[in-house]
Amino acid sequence: MVDLQGQYKKIKNEVDSAVLNVMETAAFVNGPEVANFQKSLETYLDIKHVIPCANGTDALQIAMMALGLKPGDEVITSNFTFVATVEVIGLLGLTPVLVDVNLDTFNIDPKSIEKAITSKTKAIVPVHLFGQSAEMEEIMEIAKKHNLFVIEDTAQATGAEYKFKDGTVKKCGTMGIVGATSFFPSKNLGCFGDGGAIFTNDDELAKTMRSVVNHGMTVRYYHDHVGVNSRLDSMQAAILNIKLKHLDEYNQARRTAANYYTKAFSNNSKIKTPTVFDKSNHIFHQYTLVLNNVDREGLQNFLQEFGIPAPIYYPVPLHLQKAYADPRYKKGDFPVTEHLCNSVISLPMHTELDQEQLQFITSKVLEFINK
């Protein structure tokens, strides 16, 4: 699904010397690379504060802890997402309130958000799924009207943008009170292990989050909050510093590959290609098709014979997962999410796809579909 070796080869000299430098200076934790990366990412995102942490799941958890969300508080999020989003809500004793998604964009549906709001609702967590921004203008309006926090899960959309009606363009993760992202190797900005970050323009919240990531300390050995230990190590920061310079070019390479796929599959009634909504510049963390009347498992097995992976993101909606089963929800409650879980399939998507590979993949998909 990804070609991390191919991507590494192109920046090998730079990465190797940065990593060696960390080893030689032995500043493994909180070394200067971490501060450098933090600054570079603040500039790139045009945000006041970036707080690096250990992974994207921690990033979401730290954001919710720092915002002071308490057991019983309701947090609205998308039912069609990676489990981490709802996992941290559960872990903190908050109540996840799931809502359905838009059939075309796979992102949380603002109308369904509004219907799910109660007197206990404290936050909305939109996920910019597969690299495309959620409908942030509508979501921010709802949040303002009901006085709710917006915590953006931007793990799949680092570098993606959203355009407001007045023409303002903002990066995903910088529109809500806080954005949380992941630098897992396969993400659009990935390190060589685990990593994550939280971003905000709010000075007070930034201060609290900096304290929460470090055992709730502001002054050494004085603990003002219950915190966690969640750090981005210096080697990962050194690598991310190099890769951040290439992020726009990486995202453009993904878009080029996506355009190839979409052109090859256009006018095929059995395949619905991704809808790129006009306010967002999709950065294709995943390239995901919706199949119509196709034996999905058959297609997966057929592609597998030719070494083409085609996984399902995501096969089971959160409300039908054993760990998140809840008497409030039953099968059929989220028709769009359930339909998508039964009919989506993702194709290889990364920065190193060349024309020959794309031609091979699309011809094999069409061979099976048109059979």
Ligand X SMILES: *Cc1c(COP(=O)(O)O)cnc(C)c1O
Nearer to ligand X, 61 or 241 (CB): 61
Compute the least distance from the CB of residue 125 to ligand X, in Å: 9
Is 349 one of the binding residues for ligand X (CB under 6 A)? no
d(CA 86, CA 169): 28
Tokens of 278: 């006009």
Cα-based distances in Å from 176 to 22, 63, 161, 192: 34, 11, 13, 28
Which ranges in the chain belong to alpha helices (H)? 4-25, 32-45, 56-66, 84-91, 110-116, 136-146, 203-212, 234-265, 296-305, 335-343, 355-369
Could you give phi then psi for residue 74, rounded to 5 degrees? Answer: -95, 135
Site for ligand X in 52-71 (CB under 6 A): 55-57
Nearer to ligand X, 45 or 318 (CB): 318
Compute the least distance from the CB of residue 211 to ligand X, in Å: 21
Instruction: Read off the DSSP letter of residue 52.
Output: E
- Taking CB under 6 A as the rule, which mask of x and - marks residues 259-298 in contact with ligand X? ----------------------------------------
Nearer to ligand X, 229 or 359 (CB): 229
Is 184 one of the binding residues for ligand X (CB under 6 A)? yes
Is 155 one of the binding residues for ligand X (CB under 6 A)? yes
- Taking CB under 6 A as the rule, which mask of x and - marks residues 103-142 in contact with ligand X? ------------------------x---------------
Tokens of 200: 């905000």
Site for ligand X in 187-216 (CB under 6 A): 194, 196
Q: Say which residues have a Cβ less than 8 Å from residue 60's Cβ, sequence separation at least 6.
A: 84, 85, 88, 125, 151, 153, 180
Nearer to ligand X, 135 or 302 (CB): 135
d(CA 100, CA 107): 8
Compute the least distance from the CB of residue 154 to ligand X, in Å: 8
Tokens of 3: 């070609």
- Taking CB under 6 A as the rule, which mask of x and - marks residues 69-88 in contact with ligand X? ------------xx-xx---
Compute the least distance from the CB of residue 77 to ligand X, in Å: 10
C-beta of residue 106 within 8 angstroms of C-beta of residue 289 = no
Q: Which residues form the interface with ligand X (CB under 6 A)?
A: 55-57, 81-82, 84-85, 127, 153, 155-156, 182, 184, 194, 196
